[in-house]
Structure 1
Amino acid sequence: MTAPAAPDFDALFAGSDDPWRFRTRWYERRKRALTLAALPRERYRRGFEPGCANGELAAALAARCDALVAADASPRAVGLAAERLRGTTGVELACLAVPAAWPPGRFDLVVISELAYYLDAADRRRLAERIRASLEPGGTVLACHWRAPIDDAHCDGDTVHAELDVALGLPRRGGWVDEDMRIDAWFESAGSVGDPRGPDPGGRASCHASR
């Protein structure tokens, strides 16, 4: 079987500053909201998003991270991301192609959004190795991918996530699956984000208080 040709992302971004309609398409806006909701922690020390495209998801992740590295292999995409993120504090932009290149340092959040199926099997294995090696103890890995076949992809999103399940060696603890997309988060137990012991704003002693 002939391997699919690598997509020319520079050409895509040369023709439009938002070729996938990240800003306006309901699928993209919904996916972004579900991705953020799947993160188990409100705040992260340092996050990494490879394949950041024009920076729409990075802008949302920056609000949850003290520091964020957003990278893309397309110089045009990095330029658009710089425009989108202008004035956003704590964001570092890089033009690099994963997994051959990887930013230095450790991360407690790595987000892989609609990227991994454009890599061949060897590079997907290397990607998982890079993630695991740079992930801080207790960190979160989140992946989000389209489930239907894509002409210029090496595999579908379900395959990507099944491979990550094995390669990361972390429990898969949350996410979302529907006909369009799969979102999964891998992390060691972070405990409940809805502690029933504290009073709610209405003054009840517990969210499980008897009626």
Structure 2
Amino acid sequence: MSVATPYFDQLFAENDDPWAFRQRWYERRKRAMTLALLTRPRYASIFEPGCANGELSFELAPRCDRLLCCDTASAAVSLARTRLLGFPHAQVHQRRLPEQWPSGQFELIVLSELCYYLDAEDLGHLIERALASLTADGQLLACHWRPLIEGCPQTAEQVHALLGQRLGMPLLASHHEHDFLLDLWSRDGTSVASLEGLR
């Protein structure tokens, strides 16, 4: 069973930054590596589900023309909206995924520290919806903490294995270390150097 919304509501009721995204060097470094893995300087549209308090969203906003974020916890949505006030092209909605997946097409979908909260069935539905909403040259980035999380139905390894199987897209860039997995799949498998005519 996927982790229910009250779990996240409780986290944000006690703390406006429950994972210490702002304070911990681990989180700041991981955000920098996430952004560095992206192979395009700018995207027409980005969707970030599970945005929490909007720290990664704030870094993604300058890289796109349209940013849509969502979270299941109402307090997280309010915090992310405040964080993104300086970006009129960014929107934050309260949604429960995969059933409330938004309409529209996205050039990049960012699944950061989200998918291990979903059981295999819900993750399968989320992947189907992601594939249906990616543009013809769309990319999907996934980043997940590797150690076991109590109460989560899946591990990072299980999540990234299922993504690799179900997406059916080339793995364009990857960084794995002891603490987390970071992978970027793209419908266009062309390397950055090749796109710039260097190969």
Shorter-chain TM band = over 0.9
Aligned to 1:49: 48
Give SS of 2:85's match: coil
Give SS of 2:82's match: helix
| CA displacement at 1:26 relative to structure 2 | 1.0
Give a deviation string over 1:103-131, Cα, whole Å, max 9, x none.
11100000000100100110010010010
Distance 1:170 1:70 in 2: 23
Q: Is the 8 A contact 1:119 1:154 kept in 2?
A: yes
Residue 84 of structure 2 corresponds to residue 85 of structure 1: yes
| CA displacement at 1:196 relative to structure 2 | 7.0
Structure 1 residue runs of 5 or longer lacking an equivalent are 198-211
Distance 1:191 1:20 in 2: 34
- Cα distance change, pair 4–58 in 1 and its aligned pair in 2 (3 A): closer
Aligned to 1:23: 22
Aligned to 1:191: 191
Distance 1:10 1:122 in 2: 23
| CA displacement at 1:190 relative to structure 2 | 3.4
Distance 1:95 1:11 in 2: 16
**Amino acid aligned to 1:88:** F
Give a deviation string over 1:34-80, Cα, whole Å, max 9, x none.
11011111100000000000000001111111100000011110001
Percent identity between the two aligned chains: 48
Q: Is the 8 A contact 2:3 2:118 kept in 1?
A: no
* TM-score, normalization by structure 1: 0.88
Aligned to 1:208: none
Structure 2 residue runs of 5 or longer lacking an equivalent are none
- Cα distance change, pair 14–44 in 1 and its aligned pair in 2 (3 A): same
Distance 2:104 2:39 in 1: 22
**Amino acid aligned to 2:190:** A
* TM-score, normalization by structure 2: 0.93
**RMSD over aligned Cα atoms:** 1.7
The structure with the largest alpha-carbon Rg is: 1
Distance 1:146 1:53 in 2: 15
Give SS of 1:133's match: helix
Distance 1:177 1:191 in 2: 19
Aligned to 2:61: 62
Aligned to 2:126: 127
**Amino acid aligned to 1:190:** T
Distance 1:193 1:145 in 2: 27
Aligned to 1:209: none
Segments of 4+ moved more than 3 angstroms: 3-7, 193-197
Distance 2:99 2:193 in 1: 36
Distance 2:40 2:176 in 1: 20
**Amino acid aligned to 2:67:** L
- Cα distance change, pair 116–178 in 1 and its aligned pair in 2 (3 A): same
Q: Is the 8 A contact 2:171 2:185 kept in 1?
A: yes
